[in-house]
Amino acid sequence: MNQNLILRLSVGVALVLVILACSFGQATPQAEPPPPPTAILPPTPEATPEAPPAIEHKDVPVDLPYERTSQAGDQDSSTTANQKRAPGGDRFTFGRYERPFNANTMDQYFPELDIINSIFYQDDAWIYATITLRGGDKEKHLSGQYGFEIDSDLDGSGEWLILASNPASTDWNVDGVQVWYDANGDVGGRITVGADEYGNGNGYETLLFDSGQGDDPDLAWARVAPQDPTTVQIAVKTALLTGDPTYMAGAWAGRDLNPALFDFNDHMTHEQAGAALIELENFYPIKELAELDSVCRIAVGFQPKGDEPGLCVTNPPKKVACPSGQYQCYNFGNQQICVCVP
């Protein structure tokens, strides 16, 4: 009996203590005001580096000017892709490439890397390049890198390289857009445009603009042309040229347009690079230099004399003796060199 009574009393006391403890436990937080909401959810340490301050853009391109400045077409490799070769326009020696194929076998053709046309436009604020590809990739995307070089002193070697990677939006944006500069002037090596063994410099080594990062967050933009999913449009401020409105410009497309390897034909031998023309039997097929296309340069803001190195040859000589009757001419140094094509 006594033991039962003691046990019941103990349980009763314990219950009272638990109830009192709960009461005190509930009373404690009510005694202080709840912390403000900002303190309840402090930013996680991981969130900080992923959320840099938003870039404020002031200068955004709108529409391209109505009148184009200059235009240069380019070979359409889809016409010969089933023969695992380019139809023309691939001359490593003269710094021209038509290689929208995979290396070594050339049994994969990439329409998203095959430029068929390039047009440049200019207004007071912007230089615009429009680069039209043969098509999109299997998902209908422009999944390569696209860009253009600017040669402002017309000597055949570029000073700036503007690149846009994997453009996806039809709205102007800076994502994946870069502007590179050759500060030490070694792009082109000793023989501008042409291949030489001595130009193993550092190419475009200075990154002026990277997806909105840089002194001017609005320096360069890109978009997929709203009316044409196979054309990429790139805009860069004319202020880049520091007042000189004359230049030559040439378009590029590639899987990996490494700025440090400009000019490509100064950073490897012809044997290493290979060739996309089957008739160049000592070099065919393409090897280390693959998945790449370039266009000859066009004059913007001036009437070219015609012998500017790297310039598109618009008035080739009327008669060049070739078995097929077909030939292509290149501006190389101060002279024009024409080669037969089959």
Q: Which is nearer to Ca ion, 167 or 309 (CB)?
A: 309
Instruction: Tell me the Ramachandran region of residue 216: left when phi exceeds 0, alpha when psi lies from -120 to 50, beta otherwise.
Output: beta
- Specify the 3-state DSSP secondary structure of 115: strand
Q: How many residues bind Ca ion (CB under 5 A)?
A: 21
> Which span (124-132, 194-202, 210-218, 281-289) binds Ca ion, by CB under 5 A?
194-202
Q: Does 292 bind Ca ion (CB under 5 A)?
A: no
Q: Does 222 bind Ca ion (CB under 5 A)?
A: no
For residue 299, give Cα distances in angstroms to 100, 150, 156: 25, 10, 11
Q: Which is nearer to Ca ion, 57 or 190 (CB)?
A: 190
- CB 137 to Ca ion: min, Å: 15
Q: Which is nearer to Ca ion, 55 or 198 (CB)?
A: 198
Q: Which is nearer to Ca ion, 223 or 267 (CB)?
A: 267
Q: Does 289 bind Ca ion (CB under 5 A)?
A: no
For residue 98, give Cα distances in angstroms to 106, 179, 275, 285, 305: 12, 24, 9, 12, 26
Burial class of residue 78 in the structure, from the number of CB atoms within 10 Å of its CB (0-12 exposed, 13-18 middle, 19+ buried): middle
- The Cα 235–Cα 164 span in angstroms is 10
Q: Does 79 bind Ca ion (CB under 5 A)?
A: no
- CB 216 to Ca ion: min, Å: 21
- The Cα 93–Cα 79 span in angstroms is 24
Q: Does 112 bind Ca ion (CB under 5 A)?
A: no
Q: Does 150 bind Ca ion (CB under 5 A)?
A: no
- The Cα 38–Cα 138 span in angstroms is 47
Q: Does 155 bind Ca ion (CB under 5 A)?
A: yes
- The Cα 16–Cα 22 span in angstroms is 10
Residues of this chain that bind Ca ion (CB under 5 A): 74-75, 114-115, 151, 153, 155, 157, 182, 184, 186, 188-189, 191, 196, 199, 202, 205, 263, 266, 293
